[in-house]
Amino acid sequence: MRDFYSIAIDGPSGAGKSSQARAIAEKYGFIYVDTGAIYRTVGLAAFRRGIDRKDEAAVVAMLPELDIRMAYDENGAQCMYLNGEDVSKEIRMPEISICASDVSAHGKVRAYLLEMQRKLARENNVVMDGRDIGTVVLPDAELKIFLTASAEARARRRLLEHKSKGIEISFEEVLKDIQYRDQQDSSRDAAPLAQAEDAWLVDCSETDFDETFAALCALIEEKLNIPSEN
Ligand code: DC
């Protein structure tokens, strides 16, 4: 019997994993771990230092100089700190998405960040989202969900998100970015984006946030047999 529950949510960029995972964490009293934010922080560091992100050795050489920490603000939102600086906002810039995807393709970068993610799950009830949570990071998670949607549906949602933050970008650019990351995240050798054999597939192309959330909660309550806190 394990001390804590883990819920793994994997899927492509823009499927709504983080907003669903955050709402699940709040409803069931789990902590939410956004693992993409960790890769984004490494991507940002490489970007700032002008490091060739495709060069694994150069990216790996930088890692020991990075102090990457996570914290939660008063609203329960996950904040990322890079060498003491709060970079939570900057890591969401569209150009940093590409940097994150680039650095995350390196096996040694993934190995370096693995323990940090596993430790959080050993010490807390977690809902963790990413690309390889059910397959590599938490293969024993009590519940695995693969949340996906068509590239167009994901680009439409991402565009609205960017607009709400005042980020100027076109639909075509967002779609291109999503397609680039889908291709790279799924085809890399190191822990590619993949649905675990024992993951539940949820396609939210045609459902809105509330409908998707209801479907996920039904799965959680059925499979984990836990009551909601809220
Ligand atoms: O979830 P996100 O879009 O914030 O993730 C940014 C990038 O990080 C994404 O393109 C792929 C990578 N990533 C990964 O390889 N493994 C994870 N567990 C999470 C993210």
Domain ranges of the chain: 6-16+19-223
CB 20 less than 6 A from any atom of ligand 1: no
Average pLDDT, the chain: 94
The predicted pLDDT at position 79 comes to: 96
- The answer, yes or no, to whether any atom of ligand 1 lies below 6 A from the CB of 13, is yes
Residue nearest to atom 2 of ligand 1 (CA): 36
Residue 8, phi then psi, degrees to nearest 5: -105, 130
User: Which residue's alpha carbon is nearest to atom 11 within ligand 1?
Assistant: 101
Q: What is the pLDDT of residues 149-192, one digit of tens each?
A: 999 999 999 999 889 989 899 999 999 999 999 999 999 899 89
For 34, phi then psi, to 5°, come to -95, 100
Q: What is the pLDDT of residues 197-221, one digit of tens each?
A: 999 999 999 999 999 999 999 999 9
The CATH homologous superfamily to which domain 6-16+19-223 belongs is P-loop containing nucleotide triphosphate hydrolases (3.40.50.300)
Question: What is the per-residue pLDDT across 65-89, written as a single tens digit (0 to 9) for each?
Answer: 999 999 998 888 899 999 999 999 9
Q: Is 148 in the pocket of ligand 1 (CB under 6 A)?
A: no
CA distance from start to end of the chain? 26
